Amino acid sequence: MPIDNSRIVTYSPAYTIVPTYECFNRCSYCNFRSEPGKSPWMNLSAAESVLKQLQSQNVCEILILSGEVHPHSPKRQPWFELIYDLCELALTIGFLPHTNAGPLSFEEMQKLKCVNVSMGLMLEQLTPKLLNTVHRHAPSKLPQVRWQQLQWAGKLQIPFTTGLLLGIGETEADWWETLAAISELHQRYHHIQEVILQPHSPGHQQTFDAPSFDPHQLPQVIAKARQILPQDITIQIPPNLVKDEQWLLACIEAGARDLGGIGPKDEVNPDYPHLQEQALREILQPAGWELVPRLPIYPQFDSWLSEELQKLVKQWRKILTH
């Protein structure tokens, strides 16, 4: 019996590698960072042993997720080289890398394009008022700096994931403005794969004193986002931040069609364990949804890759469809 494409929900079988947790930003809602100099950097031999163990575990995406080193720090170049080398190593072992390491220079993005099938950066919100609150001590959270990344990704033809963080002090009008801006940019470059709608979910490390984003609001936000965004952008939600099964199904009915990278640990929200594939199937299937694995690059972007990367992606497409 053929699969009904309108009832498909996707996820990426993924594993997250963190080059370093150190970060020069201090966002008050963050549960990921450590102080500069307080987090040992991952070395390549440790990464290699982890990656080799993953070869038998149905993982296709390696998410390189890093804290940020200041652009003018003497550690910036070694940090960037480590990220590049980790991507190259992941490729060599047969995985598909996707990097999210904060704002990068145009040259850094250009270099990473050679060793990534896609990249990402959360826009969070375009409003500058958060610079007076949750982003007061976060120099790289300037909306124009992050917006520039999305533009550069378009110019460089990098398949890109971005998203909004909901419930950090912004207004409803801010959501629609940010989504409309993403839509406009995508219509120029056609490079945005996914927009993540991530509800603020308090964790043990943060100093930001605010409740979780209201779960009952999320389906409405998704439905409106679906109206604003072009149809070829997929809306993604993190299922581990959606506590109630009925709420998760309501989000999918409202237009979310991807559940992101599913791995052993959510590094950004460590207080909220990932729901694994089988648990997700048990929620989705009775409601008539088919859970299907995907690559970190959508098929319409394959031609943007080098021949070498296209070859690896082609091999993975065969694996996932059999």
Please write the tens of the pLDDT for every residue from 96-119: 999 999 999 999 999 999 999 999
| Domain region containing 189 | 5-321
Residue that wins the pLDDT comparison between 316 and 204 = 316
| pLDDT per position as a tens digit, 267-307 | 999 999 999 999 999 999 999 999 999 999 999 999 999 99
- Position of tokens 């990249």? 119
Average pLDDT over residues 214-229: 95
Split at pLDDT 50, 70, 90, the class of 5 is confident
- pLDDT recorded at residue 3: 56
Q: Is 151 exposed, middle or buried (0-12, 13-18, 19+ CB in 10 A)?
A: middle
Residue 53 pLDDT exceeds 60? yes
- pLDDT recorded at residue 1: 46
Q: Do residues 67 and 34 touch, judged by C-beta distance below 8 A?
A: yes
pTM of this prediction exceeds 0.75:
yes
* Pairing mode, strands 192-199 and 8-17: unpaired
Q: Which of 147-161, 162-176, 265-279 has the lowest mean pLDDT?
A: 265-279
CATH number at residue 143: 3.20.20.70
Q: Which long-range contacts (CB under 8 A, 24 or more apart) does 177-181 make?
A: 177/126, 177/127, 178/123, 178/125, 178/126, 178/127, 179/224, 179/225, 179/228, 179/229, 180/228, 181/126, 181/147
Instruction: Name the percent of the chain lying above pLDDT 90.
Output: 88
What mean pLDDT is reported for the chain?
95
- pLDDT recorded at residue 198: 97
- pLDDT recorded at residue 45: 97
C-alpha of 310 from chain center: 21
Residue 21 pLDDT exceeds 60? yes
Q: Do residues 146 and 198 touch, judged by C-beta distance below 8 A?
A: no
Split at pLDDT 50, 70, 90, the class of 215 is confident
Residue 146 pLDDT exceeds 70? yes
Average pLDDT over residues 225-252: 96
Average pLDDT over residues 177-204: 96
Compute the residue count for the chain. Answer: 322
Q: Is 245 exposed, middle or buried (0-12, 13-18, 19+ CB in 10 A)?
A: middle
Q: Work out how many domains the chain is built from and give that number.
A: 1
Residue 2 pLDDT exceeds 60? no
Average pLDDT over residues 245-254: 96
Residue 264 pLDDT exceeds 50? yes
Average pLDDT over residues 147-168: 97
